[in-house]
């Protein structure tokens, strides 16, 4: 039993290590692509590197958004079902009393 548990733990450690390595590799590749893009834009447009990095930061912020997903369809559906459930529960209690 103890050997099985240790084998599962070792398997989980390997799995997580490889997943983390993949995430870090992907992040490095993404950063490298961004640097290559900025290099090419600097060569083509003649803009200085700080200007291009500022543009990249603005683009990143606009694409990522504010993180406020209050108006997302998923959240609207969840709020609607939550409100409907609360109303049904209250009506059920009132009916019982």
pLDDT one-digit tens code per residue, 25-71? 999 999 999 999 999 999 999 999 999 999 999 988 888 765 666 66
- pLDDT-based confidence at residue 16 (cuts at 50, 70, 90): very high
Euclidean distance between CA atoms 42 and 51, whole angstroms:
9
The reported pLDDT for the residue numbered 40 is 95
SS3 40: helix
pTM score: 0.55
Q: Which residue has the higher pLDDT, 72 or 14?
A: 14
């Amino acid at each position: 039993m103890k050997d099985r548990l240790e084998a599962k733990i070792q398997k989980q450690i390997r799995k997580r290590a490889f997943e983390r390595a993949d995430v870090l590799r992907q992040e490095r590749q993404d950063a490298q692509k961004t640097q290559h893009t900025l290099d090419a834009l600097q060569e083509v447009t003649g803009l200085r590197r700080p200007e291009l990095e500022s543009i990249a930061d603005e683009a990143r912020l606009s694409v990522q958004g504010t993180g406020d997903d209050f108006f997302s369809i998923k959240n609207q559906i969840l709020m609607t079902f939550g409100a409907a459930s609360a109303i049904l529960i209250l009506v059920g209690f009132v009916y019982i009393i």
